[in-house]
Structure 1
Amino acid sequence: MRLDLSILLPHLGFLAQGALLTAETCALALAGSVIMGASVAIARTSSSALLRRIAFVYVDIFRNVPFIVQLFFFYYGLPEIGLYIDAFTTGVIALSIAGGAYASDVIRAGILAIDQGIIEAAEVSGLSWRVMFTRIILPIALRTSVRPLGSVLINLILTSSILSTITLNELTGSAQIVVSQTYRPFEVYIVLLVVYAALTYLVSLAIALLHRRLNRDMMEVVA
């Protein structure tokens, strides 16, 4: 079989739309994952045994159930009880909840790594726990968690390919449609391999640069 990538030229615009939809979905899911992760991390470091138990159950469930099962539950299961959500929203919610389970471990580790002296200084200054947590503890924890959260984002990008199973025409879904029109899966999936590899590499590079910049700023503040 002769490799002929030129057959994909008429479909590049359609594939680009799928790539943009993937980027939009993952960006929203990352924000949702950080919010979920921070909330769960707060619960897991809480003095309340009930909150810690609820957070543990959430993380345990969504880290140990295949994502495709979670996705099908939200998209095909919830309508059975009267909850209808479109494919895009379902994808964002499912990725956010699943990603939040992983992000919570990252943010929790960042919270536990904070120097106790910083917390004691904040307590002595008379700050309330809410202000201390939102303005001191959480920002420091997120700063130190940039690299691991970048891994969560990369995982979201890769996992987003499963959203094609609920008829969402993100990058993988768009590629499947192109395959059905061209009958040239070899060329289509070569392009798909390259695009995903390039996308995750660029994200890794951006995360590394951001981490280096934040560490440099931190060193300048300390100096």
Structure 2
Amino acid sequence: MRFDLSILVPHLGFLAKGAVLTVEACALALLGSLITGALVAIARTSALAWLRRAAAIYVDLFRNIPFIVQLFFFYYGLPELGLYLNAFITGVISLSIAGGAFASDVIRSGILAIEPGIIEAAEVSGLARPTILRRIVLPIALRTSIRPLGSVLINLVLTSSILSTITLNELTGSAKIVAADTFRPFEVYAALLIAYASLTYLISLAIGRLHLRLNRDMAEARL
């Protein structure tokens, strides 16, 4: 068999649309994961026992159920209850909920790592608890958790390939169609391997640079 990537040239536009869809879904899912993760992390560090318990159940539930099962539940199960969502919205919501469970652990660790004196000083100055969380606790926790949150983003990108199972033609879904049309799955999936490896590598580089910049800014602020 002759390896020939030129057979992909006529399909580059179609594959590019799939790649854009993947980026859009992952960007929205990252935002949803951060919001969900932050709320759950706050709940897990709350003084209210029932709130901590509820947040812990959420994390344990969505971290221990295969993502494809969660996805199928939302896409095929919810319509039985009269709730119909298109594949893109279902994918984003599913990724956000699953990603939020992992992000919450990262953000919670960042919150617990904050020096108690910082929070005590804010309380002494008269700031309300919600203000302390919004303006002090969460910004510090997010800044110190950039690298592990980057891992959450990379995991979202890799997991997004499963969205092709609910007829969403993101990058993997588009590749499956091209492979079926060209009868050249080896070249198509070789290109897909390269695409995902390149995307995750670029994300890793960007996260590394952001981490260094934030650490430098924090060090300068202390001086």
Tell me the TM-score normalised to structure 2 length. 0.99
Q: What secondary structure sits across from 2:32 in the alignment?
A: helix
CA distance in 2 between partners of 1:182 and 1:42 (Å)? 51
CA distance in 2 between partners of 1:34 and 1:7 (Å)? 40
1:51-74 CA-partner distances (Å, limit 9, x unpaired): 111101100100000000000000
Q: Counterparts in 2 of 1:120-159, with a 5 A limit?
A: 120-159=120-159
Map of 2:71 onto structure 1 = 71
TM superposition shift of 1:191: 0.3
CA distance in 2 between partners of 1:127 and 1:5 (Å)? 61
Map of 1:161 onto structure 2 = 161
Letter in 2 for 1:101: A
CA distance in 2 between partners of 1:8 and 1:102 (Å)? 36
1:77-119 CA-partner distances (Å, limit 9, x unpaired): 0001100000000000000000000000000000000011101
Matched, 1:218 2:215: no
Matched, 1:22 2:17: no
Map of 1:108 onto structure 2 = 108
Map of 1:35 onto structure 2 = 35
TM superposition shift of 1:14: 0.6
CA distance in 2 between partners of 1:118 and 1:188 (Å)? 53
Runs of 4+ aligned residues of structure 1 deviating over 2 Å after TM superposition are: none
Matched, 1:3 2:9: no
TM superposition shift of 1:17: 0.6
TM superposition shift of 1:160: 0.2
CA distance in 2 between partners of 1:36 and 1:133 (Å)? 15
Q: Counterparts in 2 of 1:62-101, with a 5 A limit?
A: 62-101=62-101
Q: What secondary structure sits across from 1:127 in the alignment?
A: coil
Letter in 2 for 1:184: R
CA distance in 1 between partners of 2:193 and 2:171 (Å)? 11
Unaligned runs of 5+ in 2: none
Letter in 2 for 1:157: V
CA distance in 2 between partners of 1:59 and 1:71 (Å)? 16
Q: What secondary structure sits across from 1:2 in the alignment?
A: coil
TM superposition shift of 1:182: 0.2
Letter in 2 for 1:205: L
TM superposition shift of 1:158: 0.2
Matched, 1:187 2:187: yes
Among the aligned pairs, what percent are the same residue? Answer: 75
Letter in 1 for 2:133: F
TM superposition shift of 1:2: 0.5
